[in-house]
Amino acid sequence: MKRNLRERAAAAWKEKKAVLAEEHAANLEAMQHELLCEQLQSDFERALREITGEESISFWVHEYLIGVVGNLRFVPHIPSKEWNDPVLRRVRLMGVCSRCGAETYSQSIADLGDLGKQLESFIPAIGRECALKTCPETSHNLSTVDGKPLNSESDFSF
């Protein structure tokens, strides 16, 4: 049985409202995600400035947010939702495990002393899976691989 124009229009509007509601929800979620990302980058930049004392910081996004200070790369460490709490504001240094060669991030860094410790003896984050099952998650030298200094932009493909 063929529906009249009013019934067809009502059915079409019902379908269109559902599509519009889905699009609106997706747009709202995308906007919220973008605002969260902007806030994270702003907070991350502030934390990097506080820790390093450097003004020149650049950012990349490649699967995750990366902050670059000189030839060192950092990622935010967010142990909880309380990122704005200065006690919990931390970053992690990106480096390479000297045993297995895998790119990874360091334990949490809260100040310049923590950064110095990681530069002297890179310690991957606790719970990190090493490519070599025998690789202890203890002292890892962060100096060179194949004669090249680590943490230069050329060491990583992004």
Question: What does the pLDDT look like over 101-122, one tens digit per residue?
Answer: 778 888 889 999 999 999 998 8
Domain around 95: 5-155
- What single letter denotes the amino acid at residue 46? R
140, 76, 146: which is closest to 110 by C-alpha? 76
pLDDT of 129 reads: 59
| Residue 4, helix vs strand vs coil | coil
Sheet of strand 72-77: strand arrangement: 58-61, 65-69, 72-77, 90-96, 103-105
Is residue 53's pLDDT more than 90?
yes
The verdict on pTM exceeding 0.75 is no
pLDDT of 70 reads: 92
Cα gap 139→20, rounded to integer Å: 55
* Degrees, nearest 5: CA angle 109-85-64: 55
Overall domain count for the chain: 1
